[in-house]
Amino acid sequence: MSMCQARILSAEFVIPGTSEICHTTTECGGESFKKVDVDDGDAHQHICKSCVKRFLTKGSSKSSWYGWFDCDYPPEARVKYSPWYNKMLKDGAKECIAVDILVEKMGVMSVSLETKASSMILQEIAAIEGWIKGEGKTKFKEQPKMLKKLIDLRTQLKLLKK
């Protein structure tokens, strides 16, 4: 018997540097009810009865469909590694920087510069890793550039910790 390959929500968390709530995802794994054609009929995915209901909301403003587990994330899905999540990570990093600048201007040095730099680098690394696992899976021309950036960021982080 085949299992449902839809992506469903699992753990809930707050995105660092923001107040936005997000979820991790997992494969449904329920008993397959039917097959759904994907990639213009070149392939198919199995889906269970409860996920069919969510699948039918795909494209609506109140959609609860998060895609197939091994495919790209819907752009506005509030799940880890989606394009929305990556944007929130970047916005959260900008907000953290703005708060740090304000704290410094007020004459209070609560966190060292190395810690701030490390935090920013870690957020950039998380964003790139999210891109690689999400929308970057199929963007083969952009992957080498992003992987080089990831290596450079990890090198910078190691240099900061010395």
The pLDDT tens digits of the residues spanning 19-48 come to 888 999 999 999 998 998 887 778 899 999
- Of 106, 6, 84, the closest CA to residue 52 belongs to 6
Give the separation between CA 73 and CA 88, rounded to whole angstroms. 15
Q: What is the pLDDT along the chain (162 residues), one digit of tens a residue?
A: 789 999 999 998 888 777 888 999 999 999 998 998 887 778 899 999 999 999 998 878 788 889 898 888 888 888 988 888 888 887 776 655 555 555 555 554 444 555 666 777 888 888 888 888 887 777 788 888 888 888 888 887 777 665
Indicate the pTM of the whole model.
0.56
Q: How far is CA 88 from CA 79, 95, 161, in A?
A: 11, 10, 26
Residue 111's SS3 state is coil
Give the Cα-Cα-Cα angle 8, 13, 18 (nearest 5 degrees): 125
Return the ∠ at Cα 131 (arms to 41 and 3), rounded to 5°: 45
Q: What is the DSSP letter of 81?
A: T
